[in-house]
Amino acid sequence: MNADPVRMSQLGSDSASVLRIISHFDRLHESAADADTVVRCVALLAECPVGARWASGTVIRYDATGRLEPGGDVPPPAPADEPSVWLERDGPGHALDPVLLNRLAHTLRAVPARAGASGELHIGDPALLEVVLSGKERREDRVRAVRLLGLDEKRNICVLAVSAHSPPEALRIIARQLPGSSVRSTAIGNATAVLCQGPIDTRALSDGLEGAITTAFPGRRTEGANRGPWVGIGASVEALAAATSWQQALGALRFASSTGYGRRAVAYERLSALELLADIPLERVRRQRDVLRINDIAATPTGALDVDTVEGFLVFGSLRRTAAELHLHHSTVAARLAHVGSQMGWDLNDPMDRFIATLVLMIRRVALSSTELDEPEQA
């Protein structure tokens, strides 16, 4: 918008002033501005805080100087997808405030809002997101990038790392698990970074995503677009420490897997001491004696079924439940456990051997996932 800025204090209540307001919104519409830009420009025009809220709970609010300012007196959402809009004047209102609010609501119905308003992820400016997620950029540059993304540098941020092979539906599943949060995403390297700002319990989020992903993509060994996403979830941190959450998310992503009975969504805060496993060099893991032996067993179709059954047994905890979950006779499960146990030297009834088996299979899963995550995406 290159025209001279309009301010309500400069306008009267005549028809010419009404036309100037309408022209202001027409230029916003023609510039393809998003919801954040529209609300910010209207706050500057109105010279007071302006806000909008969607039925999903998404709120966008800017103060009179154009600064993102969460909070304030937020009215209940309007029906359906029409946003509630409001002005926050300290003194008497302007005669044309009703016109301003009418045009604001009309314009917002035609532009994309943040995640939660539309149920989709908002694709952020890749350069800005990379600045926010970098630990090397200057503080003032990160503050500016956060603001330009329509986020608040005073509120915490949580970053998710999503496997690059994920289909578009996977990102929609993630967006639905983050109602009321402001969400930005972009591809970085071999992963998609999803930056979220809002009240987020990472443990609950990982459980919610796990259930949603396994429901939408139930096959554990499907390939390509049908396999579903793997998701690593970083901790909720101060906005200017987003780089820390991003690195945590990448680390947690190494533990997410569609192999066997691995989880699809893993929160870094749930790893505890297991995070140390991610620090072991991948080549050293591949050469570890037990990992080599279990990979040799899994190299044949029959052996792969045996290893899957052991993984299931370690997850479900008993022979009978494993048989029920895998739809096998318990004698078949027992035979497969005995076969793997004899080759690995494990007695799966012994607590120490069961722990070692769990650890070996987890390290193997991290290695397999890491290898696949490091592979370049196929065109």
Strand 122-123 versus strand 182-188 pairing type: parallel
Whether residue 365 is predicted with pLDDT greater than 60 in this model: the reply is: yes
- Domains annotated for the chain, with CATH where assigned, are 8-108 (no CATH), 122-273 (3.30.70), 282-374 (1.10.10.2840)
Lowest mean pLDDT among 107-116, 199-208, 259-268, 289-298: 107-116
Lowest mean pLDDT among 46-60, 222-236, 242-256: 222-236
Lowest mean pLDDT among 25-34, 76-85, 127-136, 286-295: 76-85
Contacts of residue 282, defined as CB under 8 A and 6 or more positions apart, other chains included, come to 367, 370, 371
Does pTM surpass 0.85? no
- Under the banding of pLDDT at 50, 70 and 90, the label for residue 114 is very low
Nearest of 90, 54, 55, 106 to residue 98 by alpha carbon: 106
Instruction: Please tell me the distance from the alpha carbon of residue 202 to that of residue 20, in angstroms, as a whole number.
Output: 47
Considering 58-62, 222-226, 246-250, the range whose residues carry the highest mean pLDDT is 246-250
Q: What are phi and psi of 59, to 5 degrees?
A: -125, 135
Whether residue 38 is predicted with pLDDT greater than 50 in this model: the reply is: yes
Considering 123-132, 174-183, 286-295, the range whose residues carry the highest mean pLDDT is 286-295
Task: Kindly state the average pLDDT of the residues 72-91.
Answer: 72
Question: Using an 8 Å Cβ cutoff, are 321 and 315 in contact?
Answer: no
pLDDT, mean over the chain: 83
State pLDDT tens for residues 126-176: 778 888 998 888 888 888 888 888 788 889 999 999 987 666 677 778 888
Lowest mean pLDDT among 150-154, 299-303, 326-330: 150-154
- Under the banding of pLDDT at 50, 70 and 90, the label for residue 258 is low
Q: Which residue has the tokens 């998404």?
A: 58
Task: Kindly state the average pLDDT of the residues 236-254.
Answer: 93
Three-class secondary structure of residue 232 per DSSP: strand
- Under the banding of pLDDT at 50, 70 and 90, the label for residue 26 is confident
Task: Kindly state the average pLDDT of the residues 251-268.
Answer: 83
Q: What is the DSSP string of 147-214?
A: HHTT--TTS-BEEEEEETT--HHHHHHHHHTSTT-EEEEEEETTEEEEEEES---HHHHHHHHHHHHH
Whether residue 118 is predicted with pLDDT greater than 80 in this model: the reply is: no
DSSP lists the bridge partners of residue 231 as 162, 265
Is the pLDDT higher at 61 or at 88? 88
| CA angle, residues 353, 296, 255, in degrees to nearest 5 | 65
What HEC string does 32-46 produce?
A: CCCHHHHHHHHHHHH
Nearest of 106, 11, 112, 105 to residue 50 by alpha carbon: 105
**Residue 379, pLDDT score:** 39
**Residue 266, pLDDT score:** 94
**Residue 360, pLDDT score:** 93
Percentage of residues in the chain having pLDDT higher than 70? 84
State pLDDT tens for residues 44-79: 999 999 988 876 566 788 888 887 765 555 565 555
**Residue 240, pLDDT score:** 92
